[in-house]
Amino acid sequence: MNKPNDILLSDYAERISYSGPNEDSRSELKALNINENDSVLCITGGGDRVLSLLLGKPKKITAIDLNPCQNYLLELKIAGIQALNHEEFLSFSGILPCQERQNTYNEIKHLLSKKAELFWAENKAIIEKGFIYEGAFEKHFKLISVIIKAIRPNKIKTLTSLNNIEDQREFVRSQWNTPAWKTFLQFLTNKYFFKFFLKDPGFYQHTPQAISVSEYLLGRMDHSLMNHLVLDNFFMTFLLTGKYNPEQGLPLYLEKNNYPLIKGALDNTTIEMVTSPLEQHLYNSKSKIDKFSISDVSAYLNEESFVSLLDSIYLAGSENSILCMRHFITKREIPDTIRNKFSFNSALEKELNHSDISFVYSFNVGVKCERQFT
């Protein structure tokens, strides 16, 4: 087993990197086809994908992250969902205005672990402001949205209110995609800009030199604007306006019809939170895992560690286990040694690349092959 030397815990242990939804969990639900007998392993991140996967009603979800702060955030979200109704949770999280968040926290903190309670006692400002916008990623893009709204206020208002895809396409072609806008976005999406301001190595550390980050992101944004209504897209809405629309286009687990389903699933699904390097946990795992939702971990790993991780997933998986893996800018080729161990569904991968409204990602989806290897 390779040592997890690509990411230093000290770089992440004292901050929340992701506090809100930045992935369209409908993709994972479709790829993994979760059922009530499944044991699921999921990267914690902001916790939103873990919560959305509860719609599959699995027997157990292991939420794992290298950063303990992300698990403390997930604990807080779970406690909020257990104790609050839909509107109360939207207010507590920061999506709706609220002056009583600290009082709400005091009412639910008994549902937290001691470590999580200590963390939140030391980070009261995050609670008071509304935690959904307080991750490093969210604060970075919220600041960018202030600039965007300042230079294109009327166009933002129009784009986020159109309810017909043909009207949106025409607006994008005729008024949105101007040369000045593209130049501005090229500056904002330069990998060195990410490195200096966001300080997240997943945006730059293992990005091949031949890949233009700005051209890739511009192309994927255009794809989304031409195929998915911004009005229904929580991810695009946040990037453009710096907030989520409480009336329409919320992330899956916060949709009004899904919220009681998530609340009910929390009574039946065991959620175990683990703070550990992923490969180390898999190596030490005593029980087999049926479904893997490992997000974009490849962006933080060198090639050797990436292949070693896939080997560990193969060994930790049950018969016919399913792997769903996202890729952001770091596009990994799956080596033949791994392709012999998983049957990858290229048609489904292509479909998810097209339909996923968190448009910056591509996918690998594979089923473990039960063969003997030498």
Q: What is the pLDDT of residues 105-121, one digit of tens each?
A: 999 999 999 999 999 99
Tens-place pLDDT, residues 126-175: 999 999 999 998 998 898 899 999 999 999 999 999 999 999 999 999 99
Mean pLDDT of 89-104: 97
CA-to-CA dists, residue 275 to 240, 350, 366, angstroms: 33, 32, 26
Looking at residue 253, its pLDDT comes to: 97
Could you give the CA distance from residue 209 to residue 204 in angstroms, rounded to a whole number? 10
121: CB partners within 8 A, 6+ apart: none
Query: Which tokens sit at 116?
Result: 């999580």
Q: Sort strands 317-327 and 362-368 into parallel, antiparallel or unpaired.
A: antiparallel
Looking at residue 2, its pLDDT comes to: 42
Tens-place pLDDT, residues 161-181: 999 999 999 999 999 999 998
Looking at residue 129, its pLDDT comes to: 97
Looking at residue 372, its pLDDT comes to: 43
Query: Which tokens sit at 265?
Result: 């699933």
Cα 338–Cα 340–Cα 344 angle in degrees, nearest 5: 80
Q: What is the largest CA-CA distance in the chain?
A: 63
Could you give the CA distance from residue 70 to residue 20 in angstroms, rounded to a whole number? 11
Could you give the CA distance from residue 61 to residue 266 in angstroms, rounded to a whole number? 11
Tens-place pLDDT, residues 39-92: 999 999 999 999 999 999 999 999 999 999 999 999 999 999 999 999 999 999
194 vs 339, higher pLDDT? 339
Looking at residue 185, its pLDDT comes to: 82
Contact (CB, 8 A) for 131 and 19 = yes
Residue of 268, 295, 273 lying closest to 364 (CA atoms): 295
Percent of the chain past pLDDT 90, that is, above it, reads 75
